[in-house]
C-alpha cells in the first residue's frame, strides 16, 4: 500500500426527511444563497422542503446551473453574493449544481485577477465561502469531495481544493424517486466508473481499498438495474444503496494509498466539452475501450476483477479478461447507456478533434503509469468506435 494522508470532514445526514435538519445545520445568522439547476426541485417537492427548513433564515436563490456547469452562468451568481453579503452557500441538486457551487464559493473570495485561472491554471484558492448541499441525484460524489469541473467554450476542466469540500451533505433517497431513467442510469454508471478509476490499476496489496471497491461495484451491479425495473423502481432501500455507493465511490476512501488511473474521465471530458454528451455516457463508451487497450498493463487487476466482481474463473487468462469486459458492457447496456462512439453518432472522422483537445489541455501522459500518450488515447478512441 502506498503512503497516504486521509481526511474527510463532510458530515453526512442520510435518510428520509433529513432536509428538515437544515434549520439546525446552517448557522441562524447566516445569509444563505440557495443554488440549483433548471427548476426540477420545484416540481418534486425538494424546494418546498428546503424553503420550510430555512423559514427562520435569511436566504436568496440562484438558479439555472446547467449540466456540466458553465463558467458564464456561474459568474452571474457573484452579483447576488456581493449585493446581499452572502456568507453561506447551499447547493440543492446533483453533481453539476454542487460542482458549480464550489466554483461560486471559491470565486467569491478569490484574490486573483481572473477567476478562470482557478480552473485553467489551478490558481491556488486561499479561502472560499462555506458550502453545504442537499443531494438530489447520486452520481458524482461531489457532495463530500474536494473536486469540481467547470465548462467554458467547449473546455471542460477540473479544479480541486479542500476549501470547497461541503461542510455537510443531506442524502435523502426519497428525493431520487422523481429521477428519469436516464438520470438513474447515468448516476449508477458514473459511480461505477469512479470506482474503477481507483481500482483497475495495479496491485499494491491494498486489501481494504480493493475489497471496499469491489463491494461498491457489486452493489451498483445488483441495485442499479433494480432502480430501472418497474417492480422495484420505487424501493427506497434500492435507492438508498445506490446513493450511498455513489458517495463512497469518490469521497477519497477507496483511493487512499492506491494508484489511480482517470484516463477514461480525461478522454470523456473531451467528448462532453466537444459534443455535449452526458458525462456518464462518455464514461460508458470509453471505459471498455480502455480495458481492452490497456489489457496488459492492467492484467493482474483485470483477473482479480473478473473473479471477485463477475465470478469468472473458467478458461485461460485472456478469455477471463475478455469475459469480464463483456460483462461490464452488458451491465452498462442494462443501465441504458451507450458503449460505442457509434451509439452517439460519432465516427472515425471525429477522433482528430478529440485528440487535438486532449493535446490542448495537456493530457499527454494519462493513466496510473503516465504511459497513456496521445497515440494510446487515439487507439482507445478507435477501439471505442
Domain boundaries of the chain, sorted by first residue: 11-174, 181-384
Q: What is the pLDDT along the chain (385 residues), one digit of tens a residue?
A: 999 999 999 999 999 999 999 999 999 999 999 999 988 999 999 999 999 999 999 999 999 999 999 999 999 999 999 999 999 999 999 999 999 999 999 999 999 999 999 999 999 999 999 999 999 999 999 999 999 999 999 899 999 999 999 999 999 999 999 999 999 999 999 999 999 999 999 999 999 999 999 999 999 999 999 999 999 999 999 999 999 999 999 999 999 999 999 999 999 999 999 999 999 999 999 999 999 999 999 999 999 999 999 999 999 999 999 999 999 999 999 999 999 999 999 999 999 999 999 999 999 999 999 999 999 999 999 999 9
Other Cβ atoms less than 10 A from the Cβ of 20: the count is: 14
- The phi and psi torsions of 168 (rounded to 5 degrees) equal -145, 160
Beta pairing, strands 58-62 & 11-14: unpaired
What is this structure's pTM?
A: 0.96
Grid cell digits, residue 125: 484558492
What's the gap between Cα 22 and its chain centre? 24
57 within 8 A of 26, measured Cβ to Cβ:
yes
What class does CATH assign to 181-384?
A: mainly alpha
What class does CATH assign to 11-174?
A: alpha beta
189 within 8 A of 197, measured Cβ to Cβ:
no
Amino acid at each position: 500500500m502506498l503512503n497516504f494522508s486521509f481526511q474527510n470532514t463532510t458530515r453526512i445526514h442520510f435518510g428520509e426527511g433529513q432536509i428538515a435538519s437544515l434549520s439546525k445545520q446552517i448557522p441562524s445568522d447566516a445569509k444563505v444563497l440557495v443554488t440549483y439547476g433548471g427548476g426540477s426541485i420545484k416540481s418534486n417537492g425538494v424546494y418546498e422542503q428546503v424553503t420550510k427548513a430555512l423559514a427562520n433564515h435569511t436566504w436568496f436563490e440562484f438558479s439555472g446551473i446547467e449540466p456540466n456547469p458553465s463558467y458564464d452562468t456561474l459568474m452571474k451568481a457573484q452579483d447576488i453574493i456581493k449585493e446581499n453579503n452572502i456568507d453561506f452557500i447551499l447547493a440543492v441538486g446533483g453533481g453539476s449544481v454542487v460542482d458549480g457551487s464550489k466554483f461560486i464559493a471559491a470565486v467569491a473570495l478569490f484574490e486573483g485577477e481572473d477567476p478562470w485561472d482557478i480552473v485553467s491554471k489551478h490558481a491556488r484558492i486561499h479561502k472560499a465561502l462555506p458550502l453545504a448541499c442537499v443531494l438530489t441525484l447520486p452520481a458524482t460524489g461531489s457532495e463530500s469531495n474536494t473536486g469540481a469541473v467547470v465548462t467554458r467554450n467547449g473546455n471542460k476542466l477540473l479544479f480541486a481544493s479542500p476549501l470547497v469540500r461541503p461542510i455537510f451533505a443531506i442524502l435523502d433517497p426519497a428525493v431520487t424517486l422523481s429521477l428519469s431513467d436516464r438520470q438513474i442510469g447515468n448516476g449508477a454508471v458514473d459511480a461505477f466508473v469512479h470506482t474503477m478509476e481507483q481500482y483497475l490499476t495495479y496491485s499494491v496489496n491494498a486489501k481494504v481499498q480493493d475489497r471496499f471497491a469491489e463491494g461498491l461495484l457489486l452493489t451498483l451491479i445488483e441495485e442499479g438495474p433494480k432502480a430501472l425495473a418497474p417492480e422495484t423502481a420505487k424501493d427506497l432501500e434500492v435507492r438508498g444503496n445506490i446513493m450511498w455507493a455513489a458517495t463512497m465511490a469518490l469521497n477519497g476512501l477507496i483511493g487512499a494509498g492506491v494508484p489511480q488511473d482517470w484516463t477514461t474521465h480525461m478522454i470523456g471530458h473531451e467528448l462532453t466539452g466537444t459534443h455535449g454528451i452526458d458525462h456518464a455516457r462518455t464514461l460508458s463508451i470509453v471505459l471498455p475501450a480502455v480495458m481492452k487497450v490497456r489489457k496488459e498493463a492492467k492484467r493482474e487487476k483485470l483477473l482479480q476483477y473478473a473473479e471477485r466482481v463477475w465470478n469468472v474463473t473458467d478458461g485461460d487468462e485472456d478469455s477471463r479478461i475478455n469475459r469480464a469486459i463483456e460483462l461490464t458492457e452488458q451491465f452498462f447496456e442494462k443501465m441504458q447507456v451507450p458503449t460505442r462512439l457509434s451509439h452517439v453518432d460519432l465516427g472515425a472522422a471525429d477522433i482528430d478533434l478529440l485528440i487535438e483537445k486532449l493535446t490542448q489541455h495537456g493530457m499527454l501522459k494519462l493513466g496510473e503509469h503516465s504511459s497513456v500518450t496521445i497515440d494510446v488515447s487515439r487507439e482507445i478512441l478507435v477501439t471505442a468506435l
